[in-house]
Every structure is written in structure tokens, then in C-alpha cells.
Structure 1
């Protein structure tokens, strides 16, 4: 009997090997189209977020509003201008009238009623508002220019006063030389005065000198 013979029940069980597929083959087998084609198709299927939106100018014209005039109004509102209290009150009154007229114009447009009369009122109020803004702006600019010129003149006058009253800078050497000259001038004048005092009884130093010269 062969001892090396093995029992079939005791034979080792063979494990199945894991079969891996390449990404290209799996992707090609799973979908007939490439990822780029899928992205293109998905992007083309997206809807426009703005829908059928119309340009701003066309919308304003449908509402009976002039886009150029609207731009002027927006520029006037956006520009930084400082008005007085009375000017602001007058401007607000005209703006309120303009807002009311525009509301009536929109209502007539929505109800398909005659719009010409309302449009004339709106145009007139816009012109009035623009004229007031220009008028007040010009007045305030003139006042500001006058104020600025007055302040500049006052500052210049102050600078001139400071310059005139400012002590002139003097170097040490110049100051020493000036003081020496002043002392020399003072000593010479004092010496001349003392000489005249000595010969005062003889009519002074010069008179005494002249008489001495004549005798000799």
C-alpha cells in the first residue's frame, strides 16, 4: 500500500483569482459615450438661469421711460452733492411729484390707456428736477470757491506776518564780526568825545590843533 497517496478529501482547496479590469475597459463597457461627451450633453441640457430676459433699454421703452433720461437721473442721484436744508426740501418736493407722475404713467401703460398726457408731465418734472440740481450745484460751488479763496488769503496773510516777524538767521562768525565793528565804532566815537573834552577850554581839539599848526 502506497503511503504517499493522498486522500481526495485532504487535497488543498484552490482559491479563485481576482480578475481586475482596466479603467478604460470598464468605462467603455459601462457607457457607450466618453466622459467629455457626457459633460457636453449635460451642459447643453441646462436651462438659461435668466430665461427670456430682455435688455434694460427695451424694458424701459416698453414702460414708456426714456433710458437716457433715466441714466441722467441715476447719475444725479449717485453723484455726491451736499445741499442745504432748504434746497433738499425743494428737491424732495419735485422728486415726489416725479414719482407720482411715473406711477400714473405705468398704470396707464398696464391698463392700455392713453399715455401721452402722463408722459408729458413726467418729462417736465424730470427737466425741472435736473434744472434744480444744476442750479443748486452751481450756487454751492460758487460759495465753496469764495470760501476757499477767503481761507487761502487768510493763510497767506498769516504766512507773510510770520515771515516778516521772523528773526533773521545770523551765523556765529557774522555775529562776532558785527559785534566787533560795533565795539570799534563805539570806542572811536568815545575817544573823539574825550579828546574834545580835554581841549574844551581851548575851543576843542580841532581848534587847538589848528592854532598849534599856525604858530609853528
Structure 2
């Protein structure tokens, strides 16, 4: 099973690297959104410091959604997905590999670029570190939840709009606690611990149930 997991992971990353434009589009979208926002609200330091965490998390959420529609679409179109269903390996494990590839290509770059974004919003070093940790824990949850919606809307006309309607309500708790952890860190770093506990709980629950739900949704979509 480990070999199958790594094969799917390596395959998806290799294919994505051949279509670098799709990967870079997600990252550029994130950077453009968070960079343009200060032009709209002004350059006052306190205002940007207060709004920064929420802006970063909303941009990260939208950037993650931007690539979700392609998560299973290419495999669905060329018949690879049907072959995956016929393998002896658990489909949920293969789905988890694809979700991990999605996060490595869309979520991890957001985490790595977060310090530069934090400087734009005059965040303290502590707040920037907390933001990176919150994104590191929270963005995998976005990918895992999004995979369920991508599987449910696979092959549907106008699936992108339906996908947004399905998963946006599920993203709200991650958005609230992720941004909240950064906001309260300006008071004291220890104040953000409850937020990390909740984000960690979301991550554990998502790892347990999202691959199973996505696998079931894929089987339904292919029937």
C-alpha cells in the first residue's frame, strides 16, 4: 500500500510540474489578492495589522479552491480514475495521496510565502510564526474537505459553482480559528493555543473521514 501511495503522489506531482502554469496561477492568485488589499483599505499600520490575518486566510482558502476542480478531473477524463477503482489498493488511500499532492502544490507554497505577506501587514515576528503554523495545520484541512466536494461534483456541468456552494460552509470554522490564532497572538503567544487545539482536531477528523467520504463520492460519480 505504501508503494501505491507513493506512486500516485509522485505521478500527480510530476504531471503538475509539466503544467507549471496551473500551479503558479494558484500561487500568483494568493499573492495578488493579499497584495492588492492594502491599496483598497489604505496604508494605516494598525488597520492592516488588524485585517491581515483574515485577508491571508481568505486568500489561502480561495487559492485552495481554485485548484480543487482539477483534483480528479484529468483522471476522470482519461479513464485513469476507473482503473484506480479496479485496483486492489484501498481507494481512500489513493485519494489521500492525491490530496497530499494537491496540498504540496497549493498549500505548502502559501505557508512558505506567509512571512513576506506578514511583513506587508506589519505583523510582528510572533504573529508571523503563528500564522505560518496555523496555515501549516489548517491548509491540509482545506484540501481534505475540498476533495469531498470535488468528488461529488465530478463530471457535472457547472461543477465549479456547485463545488463552491458545497464546501464554503465547511471551510468557515477553519477560517475563523486560523485567523483567530494569529489575531490573539499579538496579545500573547500562549493565547493562541486553544485555536491550535481546534485546528488540530479538525485535521485529525479530516484525515480519518475525508478520504473515506471522497472515495465513496467518487464511486457514486462514476456509476
Q: Identify whether the pair has TM-score above 0.5, normalized to the shorter chain.
A: no
Q: Choose between structure 1 and 2 for higher RCO, CA contacts under 8 A separated by at least 6 residues.
A: 2
Higher helix proportion: 2
Larger radius of gyration: 1
TM-score normalised per structure 1: 0.31
TM-score normalised per structure 2: 0.30
